[in-house]
Chains A and B, each alone.
Chain A
Amino acid sequence: MSTLLDIQDLKIHFHTRDGVVKAVDGVSLKVEQGEIAGIVGESGSGKSVTAYSLLGLIPMPPGKIEGGRALFQGTDLLRLSEREINQFRGRKISMIFQDPMTSLNPYLRVSTQLTEPLAIHERLHGKPALHRAIEALEQVGIENAEKRIHSYPHEFSGGMRQRVMIAMALITKPDLLIADEPTTALDVTVQKQVLDVIRNLQKETGTAVIFITHDLAVVHEMCDSVNVLYAGRLIESAPTAELFHKPLHAYTRGLYKSNPGTHRKGEDLYSIPGLPPDLSRLPAGCSFRARNTLGDASLCLTDRQPELIEIQAGHFVQNCPGCLARHEAAVVS
């Protein structure tokens, strides 16, 4: 397997009235060709900002890319002009969002919206384009695609709209699909269908996927590798099986432990206390220290940021002694 996308030390800051918000502060991660790479974290962890920067979607100002590279097939996506990035958007890299209704144009028929990327990127028009569009809808499991393609977005249910989005994103056969919480707004049965569609298409076409979510269980079912972000930094990264076999960082363990499925009834749910730190006033040391109850907060670094180390082949973790420690109570239970 070769590396499709190599993000190195990415820093994206937002300059606001209340100071500099360090939304992404030194994130490095890799996406291999044809894999599904998960990015997990809470709201404000920097997962969406990281993904948006790849397509030049960060509003600047107030945003600013302070440093780092994002090498995609050898091209640094962060250094491209608007004209150049348009050669990648929707052709080599596509994106789907949480709420399909906000990304589909309610005034245009699905057929118009599905054939637009073909007209722009492949100069394909008329009947041949329509055929491709119908094919794309069939691929995502929409029955009676020949008729339904002439409908408007509101005539589809939530799950079906998300399928239309996926069809639209994949119609140009991109090398990378960025899926930003694509199933968070859907209920479990529909979520399963949409996840199956993404996975099957990914297998068939070999498209790599960056899958952003806050749901560890979804990551476990979908992804080949997992990157855990916290307060704008990568705190742990490993192949999925390895991460779930042996989560190391106190935050990763906390996320796992907060899941109701891992608890007996009547037992208090573990919850990570407090809130993520203010990104404009990050502490000098370990940013998880104040919430660390599964490790040993007294051992957390306070003078410098913990570094990411490769603790085992392919398993990276922030080297903070307090977060890697295991709280005695936790060890006993």
Chain B
Amino acid sequence: MLELKNIRKTFRKGKESVYAVNDVSLNIQAGEILGLVGESGCGKSTLSRIIMQLLLPDSGSVHLNGTNLSALPLSAIRHHRLDFQMVFQDPYASLNPRLTIFSTLGEALQQRHPQLKGDELRQRVGTLLEMVGLSSRLMQRYPHEFSGGQRQRIAIARALAPEPRIIIADEPVSALDVSIQSQILNLLRHLQKDLGLTMLFISHDLSVVRYLADRIVVMYRGKIVESGDAEEVFDHPKEAYTRQLLAAVPKLPSVVGPV
């Protein structure tokens, strides 16, 4: 569905140029959750911006369903941007505090369907809210009236609104409490099943990625060092770097008897 071919991107820092992404190729199948793992500065966020068409790669190409997006003129790219939606780490920062939930979600729906208005729009916003586990009665409220977990649900609803082909989730649960985190992870997994959602899930937390993703790609210093089936990579890492990353994850012991 989405294919990246030999993406390279350098940034200049004074006289030096630094490879942020160095010859990365990967593909995401329809209905798949691909986990992208790596530490800060490994190039994951640059890569997601290139997919979003917010940054142009120095070389290489991004293909969506066979169309080479990198070859399209800017005006056409803008149209394709609807096909990619993002969910960010901080739901406090990513929702406009001065818009009601109805306005935020309504606007996102109208991007794809400009003719939606009135009752029909209200109904569609209600459906979206219920899809992410919130009551449709809450649509006239403002972001500050919701908890962090509820706000992340709203951010997910907004990402779903323009019917994207792919959702890029950049550390969507890292800022949440454990109990809320598990609610959001369940939601994402159910959405994948029910809607056939395709997702690039970026995280530094390997235990979360192991649980959610179908496949894992490990990035280090701008390069992909290992990729494969999520549990395979987690249980039998081949690369030294992956092993090091796994060793750094704090572990819970198994409790004796039922919890």
Once the chains are docked, how many angstroms separate the CA of A255 from the CA of B259? 10
Return the CB mask of A188-219 against B: 1 if under 8 Å, else 0: 11111001000000000000000000111110
Please indicate the chain B residues that have their CB under 8 angstroms from the CB of A330 in the complex. 258-259
Across the interface, do B250 and A215 meet the contact criterion of CB distance under 8 Å?
Answer: yes
Tell whether A214 pairs with B178 under 8 Å between CB atoms, given A190-B39, A265-B230, A269-B185.
Answer: yes
Bound CA span A239–B212, Å = 32
The distance in angstroms between the C-alpha atoms of A244 and B257, with both chains bound, is 11
Question: Quick one: closest A residue to B254, CB to CB?
Answer: A262
Distance from A231 Cβ to chain B, minimum over Cβ atoms (Å): 13
Chain A residues within an 8 Å CB radius of B207: 259-261
Contacting A at CB under 8 A, from B42-81, are: none
Q: Check A42/B177 contact, CB under 8 A, given A189-B248, A256-B255, A330-B258.
A: yes
A214 near B177 with CB under 8 A, answer yes
B39 contacts A220, C-beta separation under 8 Å: no
Is A158 in contact with chain B by the CB < 8 A criterion?
yes
Q: Are A260 and B179 within 8 A (Cβ)?
A: no
* Interchain nearest-CB distance for B154 vs A (Å): 15
Which of B177, B182, B248, B251 touches A260 (beta carbons < 8 Å)?
B182
Q: Are B251 and A189 in contact (CB under 8 A)?
A: no
A270 touches B182 (CB 8 A): yes
> Which residues of A are found within 8 Å of B149, using beta-carbon distances?
275
Identify which of residues 144-169 in chain A touch chain B, using a CB-to-CB cut-off of 8 Å.
157-158
User: Which residues in B have their C-beta under 8 angstroms from that of A259?
Assistant: 178, 182, 207, 252
Shortest beta-carbon distance, A186 to chain B, in Å? Answer: 8
Chain A residue total in the interface (Cβ 8 A) = 47
Q: What's the least CB distance linking B226 to chain A, in Å? A: 15
Interface set, chain A 258-311, CB cutoff 8 A to B: 258-263, 265-266, 268-272, 275, 294
How far, in whole Å, are A42 and B148 apart by their CA atoms in the complex?
Answer: 12
Interface range on chain B: under 10, 10 to 19, 20 to 34, or 35 or more?
Answer: 35 or more
B248 touches A191 (CB 8 A): yes
Choose among A187, A216, A218, A253 the residue with the greatest number of B CB atoms under 10 Å from its CB.
A187
A271-B179 contact given A259-B252, A326-B258, CB 8 Å threshold: yes
Question: Does A254 sit within 8 A of B, measured CB to CB?
Answer: yes
Nearest neighbor of B213 in chain A, beta-carbon distance: A265
Which residues of chain B (215-259) have a CB below 8 Å from chain A? 230-231, 244-245, 247-259
Name the contact of B252 in the complex, choosing from A262, A269, A331 (C-beta under 8 A): A262
Q: B107 to chain A: which residues have CB within 8 Å?
A: none
What is the CB-to-nearest-CB distance from A243 to chain B, in angstroms, rounded to a whole number?
10
Q: Which residues of A contact B103 (CB under 8 A)?
A: none
Min CB distance, B40 to chain A, in Å? 5
Nearest neighbor of A40 in chain B, beta-carbon distance: B178
Q: Chain B: which residue is nearest A191 at the CB level? A: B248
Interface contacts (Cβ under 8 Å), in number, total 119
Q: Give the chain B neighbours of A245 by CB distance below 8 A.
A: 255-256
Contact between B259 and A253, CB atoms less than 8 A apart = yes
Confirm or deny: A84 has a beta carbon within 8 angstroms of a beta carbon on chain B.
Answer: no
Residue among A191, A260, A268, A326 having the largest count of chain B Cβ atoms under 10 Å: A260
A131: CB under 8 A from chain B? no
Residues in B159-215 with C-beta less than 8 Å from chain A: 177-183, 185-186, 189, 204-208, 210-212
Chain B residues with Cβ below 8 Å from A192 are 247-248, 250
Within the complex, which residue of A220, A254, A266, A331 is in contact with B251, where a contact is CB–CB below 8 Å? A220
A261 to B246, CA, bound (A): 12
A274 to chain B, nearest CB (A): 9
| Cα(A255)–Cα(B179), bound, Å | 6
In the docked arrangement, what's the CA distance between A256 and B256, Å? 12
Q: How far is the CA of A265 from the CA of B259 in the complex (A)?
A: 19
For the complex formed, measure the closest distance between the CB of B236 and the CB atoms of chain A, giving whole angstroms.
15
Interface assignment of A312: CB less than 8 Å from any CB of chain B: no
Assess whether B147 is interfacial by the CB under 8 Å rule. yes
Contacts of B180 in A (CB 8 A): 42, 271
A43 CA / B253 CA spacing, docked (Å):
24
B206 touches A188 (CB 8 A): yes
Q: Which residues of A (211-244) have their CB < 8 Å from a CB of B?
A: 214-218, 220-221, 244
Residues of B with C-beta under 8 A to A256: 252, 255, 259
A261-B252 in contact given A275-B147, A331-B258 (Cβ < 8 Å): yes
Nearest CB in chain A: distance from B39 CB, A: 5
Report if A260-B208 is in contact (Cβ < 8 Å); known contacts: A189-B245, A215-B178, A269-B186: yes
Instruction: Name the residue on B nearest A268 (C-beta).
Output: B186
Note all chain A residues with C-beta closer than 8 A to B256.
245-246
B210 touches A220 (CB 8 A): no
- Interface flag for A2 (CB, 8 Å): no
Which A residues touch B39, using CB under 8 A? 187-190
Tell which of B205, B210, B255 has the most Cβ of chain A within 10 Å: B255
Q: What residues of B have a CB within 8 angstroms of the CB of A217 in the complex? A: 249-252
A residues apposed to B, CB below 8 Å:
42-43, 157-158, 187-192, 195, 214-218, 220-221, 244-247, 253-263, 265-266, 268-272, 275, 294, 326, 330-333
5 A–B contacts, CB within 8 A, in A order = A42-B180, A247-B255, A258-B182, A260-B210, A265-B230
Contacts A187-B40, A217-B252, A260-B185 known; 4 new A-B pairs at CB < 8 A? A42-B179, A188-B205, A190-B39, A261-B211
